[in-house]
Structure 1
Amino acid sequence: MDFRPSDRVADLQGRIERFMTEHIYPSEEALFRDAFSQPDDFRQWRPLALLEDLKAQARRQGLWNLFLPESASGAGLTNLEYAPLAEIMGRSWWAPEVFNCDAPNTGNMEVLERYGTEAQKQQWLEPLLDGRIRSAFAMTEPAVASSDATNIATEIRRDGTDYVINGRKWWTSGAGDPRCKLLITMGVSNRDATARHGRQSMILVPADAPGVRIRRYLPILGVSDAPHGHMETIFDNVRVPAENMLLGEGRGFEIAQGRLGPGRIHHCMRMIGIAERALERVCRRLGNRVAFGRPIAEQSVWRQRIARARCDLEQARLLTLKAAWMMDTAGNRVAKAEIAMIKIVAPRVASEIIDMAIQAFGGGGFADTVMTMAYVYARTTRVADGPDEVHADQLARFELARHAGRDPAHTGGTPAVMVAQGKDYERSFPMAAE
């Protein structure tokens, strides 16, 4: 494995870093103020003019759709090549959208690119790649434990040349944006299918289809996340043409796995980016503050925390890069254990480092919007795309299966570790024989 960036990726890294320094970091305060200062004001659900200006500048500089390797409209980068770029973007709450590389739109565009028909791509993928519309992913439901996606109960029923959709979704991220025109929706199309993972399908639902209703927005740790929004969505006899079905009935889990693998890489590298920024801020803060007669940076408890943070961060980065490399070289199915590992490790590491940064800033840490929103992102990612517990359970099952066979080091009789220079084990330790 060679994680050194190619000349092209190194060039993109430099260009994105310059854009972040010149445009995004100086705009953060104004963007947060415009989006969150009046959470009950209807204006929060309008696009942010400053953000749209930044997007136009990024596009003019060719920093657009970098995530999508297959598309002619993308940059043609592999997962491993895109990973360090996602890390840089992750340093700011706003940056991924500026480069048209934000969730859930990236995952939705990948779904359309890989599984959509030419007509579906023309109707939905092209305007998404162009940034003219936004999209949402409707999977999670409030009435069931959605960590087991076979529980999902929304009904997708064939009726002549249409499908009719009925159900209730929540945490439909992105549905609050008035530019959201598409809901990629997962539901049950065949409850009687023998295979549990063959009962679900994904279908394209126009956001303005009759019967689609946003019931309410759901704040994340008290934040509206406007104008993006995480919505509770009702599907009441929503009728869409049969050609809106993705890939075919019963293939929803196949699509989900294809969608979520790269998405987890993106999330985890963004986590590493914001954790890196948090650690940088901790070090600067502790070097400038004096408590009990000496700089806080000289006090051992903080040195231990910083050292641990650096170790954890480097391990998380290397593990994520390895997972990206395996996805590129062996495929998502072979890399499933590594994908599970990064989804467990990266959000936890980021949460701990950002929490440490808030602690280092004392009372000011709770008023620092950059760090508090970073914590919101890191903490919610421990649930998004499958909670930690599900990934840990899956990873443990992989590990148990891998070691279920006979121990190749065991040749029969007394294990070698129990024999010392030809002496009988029990004679060497008489108490064990009694």
Structure 2
Amino acid sequence: MGWVVVISVLVMTVLSLLRVNVIIAIIAAALTAGVMAGLGVVESIEMLVSGMGGQANTALSYILLGAFAVAISYTGITTILVNYLIRVLTGKKTMMLLVIAGVASLSQNLVPVHIAFIPILIPPLLKLFDEMRMDRRATAAALTFGLKAPYVMIPAGFGLIFHNTIVDGMEQNGVQVTVGESALSMLIPGLGMVIGLLIAIFITYRKDRDAIPGAGGAESTIMEPENKNVTFNRSHLFTLIAIGAALTVQLITDNLIAGALTGLVLMFAFIAVPFKNGDKVVSDGISMMGTIAFVMLVASGYGEILTETGAVNALVEVSSGFLGDNQPLIAIILLLVGLIVTMGIGSSFGTIPILAALYVPICVAAGFSPMATATLIGTAGALGDAGSPASDSTLGSTAGLNADGKHHHIWDTVVPTFIHFNIPLILFGWIAAIIL
């Protein structure tokens, strides 16, 4: 029975790497697990659907945050930021990269819009990047760092979703941990990402590099803004107020849905976004974040099948008997397994329920502390957001950097981010699991 988990995960990983849609790959893996465990196809589907509710809160958060991001971009406030960066940072490559990493970091916690800012901010800067002969691989590293490291370490915005998902996954499998403890457990792996970013900017991609036309296999999709000379106006002020209110409500209520709703309502109440555009804002938000949200729902159902069929317990028994209580060996094997699983799915949030179902029983049997267990789950989950061709973080970075057809997704985004973030994550996550 222990092989059920291994084979189903392999099915999911292989299909994902073959560029089969992630949702289809997870459903196929879930049905594989169900049938191998003795269930019928229909029964497996019913169990999959019944388990999808476990991530409903997170999925709705993604949808509402997508709509909020679209509303913010509608006001044109980001054009002011682009113009400022061009004016202040022209010729200053290192500072430009650090600022981009900083702006991207704000998209996870302070202004939780995730990848929505990239198509708005990056394409207008590409011409400047070429004039400065900036290595776009460094920019991809800066963007991916900002899309990952903040939510890994800070329990606000998307970080609140991430750590709540870890807490829920562990509690469902019998281990209690708080959001604060989960965040503390990820500080050391997060430090590894900081070191990876500095190596990318100051060492690996420090030299000048000319972007090659057509390298990304796409034609230019850059569109000049209708009004380059945007000045700060009343709608921008109201946008900032809405962002501040959304963050405040989220922190007070500890609920991202409440925060996102507050921001959206205020954007319409202040007429920063015309009420008549409400349908378009929400539909664009669903278009941008809906796939990610649904991946998380289906992954939760997959985790339900693995758990309810007893396949996880069987794998735990096999693993415990094989590994014994050798914590350093168990930790590195769990991280490598997590790398395979999350690289295939490309979503840290979506794989947490699956990883928790697999990891918690093994960690309990091996004597890991709750914080060490949270470290292993969180680190293994984060591995899927960098270095995976299917990750929204790498896809989002490429979408912005390849707007002029000069940036290759695999060699200019995926490989650099894998080297500079996944390798440090495994190393520092392993160290943290041993010492916590």
| Normalised TM-score (structure 1) | 0.26
Bigger share in helix: 2
| Normalised TM-score (structure 2) | 0.26
Query: Which is greater in Rg?
Result: 1
| RCO higher in structure (CA 8 A, sep ≥6) | 2
